[in-house]
């Protein structure tokens, strides 16, 4: 499930992941909630993701709260060019902890990193907040496609891993090492992608 303020790029991120395209042009808000399906191969196993795209406007919050309960994973987005969307992440995380399952997978995404001249939120700020709340973090761009596939793949791998793991195996982690995003599961590195833009 994609959550975050209105205008942070949730629908564009989903369309980029599902269709490999970017929704250029005027901004159209999601009304209520929408979803798309995508089948992908995770560790030689077919996995069907049903991804729900939520409206970020306050007037639709009661609708989205109802969907938190059944969500296995939440991708929480903010816009790196909009400081207010970043400042609202704490409120979103509070809602997630209040309404979602206790073991829900949460990943924080700083979107629109292609807009380098308009950036208002530094990568380090996103990393610090994610660390504070104990969630993985990465920056994405629906426009260029940067880390979009990696974010969804990381969540899908974690969900698959959780359904098959032993109780005391470690969770997945994302680390940035010299501008490389590294996804590790069970203490070894699975994927590293260069994040130079």
The pLDDT tens digits of the residues spanning 61-107 come to 455 667 778 889 999 999 999 999 999 999 999 999 999 999 999 99
In the predicted model, what is the mean pLDDT of residues 37-49? 88
Give the relative orientation of helices 89-99 and 123-133 as an angle to the nearest 10 degrees.
30
For residue 195, what pLDDT is reported?
45
Edge-first strand listing for the sheet containing 180-185: 173-177, 180-185, 188-194
Determine contact, residues 21/15, Cβ cutoff 8 Å: yes
Question: Global pTM?
Answer: 0.79
Across the strands, what pairs with 67? none
Average pLDDT of the residues of the chain: 81
For residue 169, what pLDDT is reported?
56
For residue 185, what pLDDT is reported?
39
Please give the Cα distance from 117 to 35 (Å, whole number): 32
Please count the CA atoms within 13 angstroms of the CA of 89 that sit on its side-chain side. Answer: 30
Task: Give the H/E segment covering residue 73.
Answer: strand 73-79
């Amino acid at each position: 499930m994609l959550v975050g303020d209105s205008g942070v790029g949730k629908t564009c991120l989903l369309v980029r992941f599902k269709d490999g395209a970017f929704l250029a042009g005027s901004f159209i808000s999601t009304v209520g909630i929408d979803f798309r399906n995508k089948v992908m191969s995770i560790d030689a196993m077919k996995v069907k993701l049903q991804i729900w795209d939520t409206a970020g406007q306050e007037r639709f919050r009661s609708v989205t709260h109802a969907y938190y309960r059944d969500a296995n994973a939440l991708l929480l987005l903010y816009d790196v060019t909009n400081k207010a969307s970043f400042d609202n992440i704490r409120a979103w995380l509070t809602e997630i902890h209040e309404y979602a399952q206790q073991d829900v997978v949460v990943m924080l995404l700083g979107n629109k990193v292609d807009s380098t001249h308009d950036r208002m939120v530094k990568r380090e700020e996103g990393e610090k907040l994610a660390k504070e709340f104990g969630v993985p973090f990465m920056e994405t761009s629906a426009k260029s496609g940067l880390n979009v596939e990696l974010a969804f793949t990381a969540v899908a791998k974690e969900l698959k891993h959780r359904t098959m793991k032993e109780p005391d195996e470690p969770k997945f982690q994302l680390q940035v090492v010299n501008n490389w995003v590294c996804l590790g599961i069970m203490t070894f590195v699975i994927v590293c992608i260069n994040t130079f833009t």
